[in-house]
Structure formats: structure tokens, C-alpha cells
Amino acid sequence: MTIRGICMPVHVIDNLSTVAPAQWDALVPGNQPFLRHAFLSALEDSGSLGPRSGWRAEHVLHYENDQLVAALPAYRKWHSYGEYVFDHAWADACRRAG
């Protein structure tokens, strides 16, 4: 199914501290503690996510009239450390190939 004519501008942020906890948590359905602002912020503030861990926050936000109406917590992985299956040979080959 194709939806045409819909324009939904989004913002990508690298730190959840730029979003008010009440605005973020208002979007969390039911009792989902791992989607709450406090939990995700704790991951970022503790260094569990960040340059040293190889994870970068790239949260996707959509605002309407300065009100946060949609949010997607997202992260980008920068290396293979900590994976269950180490794929260093593939990662090195990919890096060399550009």
C-alpha cells in the first residue's frame, strides 16, 4: 500500500536530555519501563550507550505545533565488540572496501 502526499518532518537527536521527560513519557503505551525517559536517559548518562560502548543514540522525533507527538528510540552500532558472534574478519573487510 502506498500512501502519497504525506509529509512528516522528523528530527534526529543524539541525546535524550533535549526532550522533556513528561513529553516523552506521554507517548509511552501502558507500563513499558524500558521505553521511559528515565531508563533511556540512564543508559546514555551512565555511558552504557555512547562512544566508548560503540552505540550512538539517534532518536527520531516528530513535533506538531511544538508538541512531541511521535518518538522512536533508536541506536546505531559502530563496532562488533560485545556481539555474541564475532565477525571481525567481515568488519575489517568492509572497512577496507570503504
Q: What is residue 3's three-state secondary structure?
A: coil
Model pLDDT, residue 1: 46
Is the pTM higher than 0.85? The answer reads no
**Which residues, 6 or more positions from 88, have their beta carbon under 8 angstroms from its beta carbon?**
80
Q: pLDDT tens digits for 57-96?
A: 999 999 999 999 999 999 998 776 666 566 677 778 888 9
| pLDDT value at residue 84 | 58
pLDDT at 53 over 90: no
Our measurement of the distance from residue 66's CA atom to the centroid of its chain's CA atoms, rounded to an integer in Å, reads: 20
Dist CA 89 CA 80 (whole Å):
10
| Nearest of 53, 55, 48 to residue 75 by alpha carbon | 55
